[in-house]
Amino acid sequence: MELAEHCMELLNRAEESVRSASDTLKNLTGDGRKKKMIQSIMAEKKALIDRYLETILSPDCGEHKILYEAMNYSLLAGGKRIRPSLFLLLLEEGGLDPEMYMDAACALECIHTYSLIHDDLPAMDNDEFRRGRLTNHRVYGAGMATLAGDGLLTFAFQLLSRQKGISPDVRCELVRILAEAAGPAGMVGGQAQDISSEHRRLSLEELRVMDACKTGCLLCAPVDMAAAVLSLPGEERHILAQWGRHIGLLFQITDDMLDVSGTLEQMGKKSGQDEVMDKPTYVTVLGYGEAARKAQNEAQQAAALAARLPVFGRILRDLPLYLIERTK
């Protein structure tokens, strides 16, 4: 009898957890006004970044014209601009003029774009399309595409070095944050794990560690960089960093789900590539439904952290909604 009552109690708790998760998801996705507001804010920042990106690389550079053309081909191909937008939004919420920090913001986008060029190469994922057009190596060849990625990687730090309005110490801190996020302890390390994990079954924890490096680090970088520029105290930096980790994981899970459910027209690239490459993802490890619940959980935890930072509450609270409902 006691065992039956205990089992019933556990069942009731489980049902309550499901109802709670469902209610939270409705709160995350059901407010049309919040959704429209965050979409409008992100679109505004994307437009600002797009305009500035058009000015930073001269298309006519003499002997290096083809290289710069290849760099601009991918850099100006559109995209969501989530990383630089997040950096600028946090600065704005912290009371600074975001337009004064465009070099640092665009350094983030240069790093991201270089990673996409290299990720698409025949030696990596061998993708044909990116952002609705042929990948860089399909237009310029694998050698020139590799150099275009190298050029954007190094140009990012040139942009950081010329960022005005910050002290030399803060500038060095920004360089350190971005280098660590993009390097062997961050994104590049995660990409290496991604290659070595093909045709293997990973545990959920192994997958989490890989994706925290591969995707999460470069989504945490704008958060850490904004905290450095704003000179936030240690506790606020810690909370922001935790929020960034949840956002990075949320982004990766939705990316894995879109690879199953998305279309070329929606995403600007072919879907189903993870299955073709036999890569472990949150969908293959957990199943699509459980991956969706995992994404919801990450969004909820990010929203809970946002409540502890009222200065940044609006953007920290609403960005998970933007990410969990994205279609590309």
Q: For 63-90, give the DSSP string.
A: GGHHHHHHHHHHHTS----HHHHHHHHH
Residues 22-49, mean pLDDT to the nearest whole number? 74
Give the architecture-level CATH label for domain 33-324. Orthogonal Bundle (1.10)
- 129 forms beta bridges with 134
- For residue 313 the two structure tokens come to 């509450």
Residue 187 CA to residue 215 CA, distance in Å, equals: 6
Angle formed by the axes of helices 313-324 and 234-261, to 10°? Answer: 20
Predicted local confidence at residue 135, as pLDDT = 97
- Residues 223-264: tens digit of each pLDDT: 999 999 999 999 999 999 999 999 999 999 999 999 888 766
Residue written as token pair 């660590």: 180
Residues 151-180, mean pLDDT to the nearest whole number? 97
Predicted local confidence at residue 12, as pLDDT = 47
Predicted local confidence at residue 327, as pLDDT = 64
* Lowest mean pLDDT across 27-31, 67-71, 78-82, 298-302: 27-31
DSSP SS3 for 23: helix
> Average pLDDT, whole number, for the chain?
87
Look up the pTM and report it: 0.86
- Residues 83-111: tens digit of each pLDDT: 999 999 999 999 999 999 999 999 999 99
CB 224 within 8 A of CB 236: no
Predicted local confidence at residue 201, as pLDDT = 87
